[in-house]
Amino acid sequence: MDGYIYQLSDEYVDNVGKKIGKVTKYSDTERTYFGNFSNFYEKGTKYYAIPGISTEEAIAIEEEGKYRKAMRDGKYGEK
């Protein structure tokens, strides 16, 4: 999201806050896109804030009516 890498966790959350973005491009080729692209989720997949947790720490990604937690893992392109 917005130039940051988020790593999926096995944890799901019950409550989400406001929608903060969505996947705008899907690509499994690294360094092809920048911003709100995913190498796992389809274009249009929505992400949400998690109440009580900063988006600098984690976000929730909508998966078939459930919300999967993803942890921030640094800026894209810095590793």
Give pLDDT, residue 1.
59
> Position 56: which residue type?
E
Considering only CA atoms, which of 35, 34, 67 is closest in space to residue 53?
Answer: 67
List pLDDT tens digits, range 50-79: 999 999 999 999 999 999 999 998 776 655
Q: Where are the domains of the chain?
A: 4-75
Give pLDDT, residue 48.
96
Give pLDDT, residue 41.
85
List pLDDT tens digits, range 14-49: 999 999 999 887 666 665 555 566 778 889 999 999
User: In this structure, are strands 66-75 and 4-13 parallel, antiparallel, or unpaired?
Assistant: antiparallel
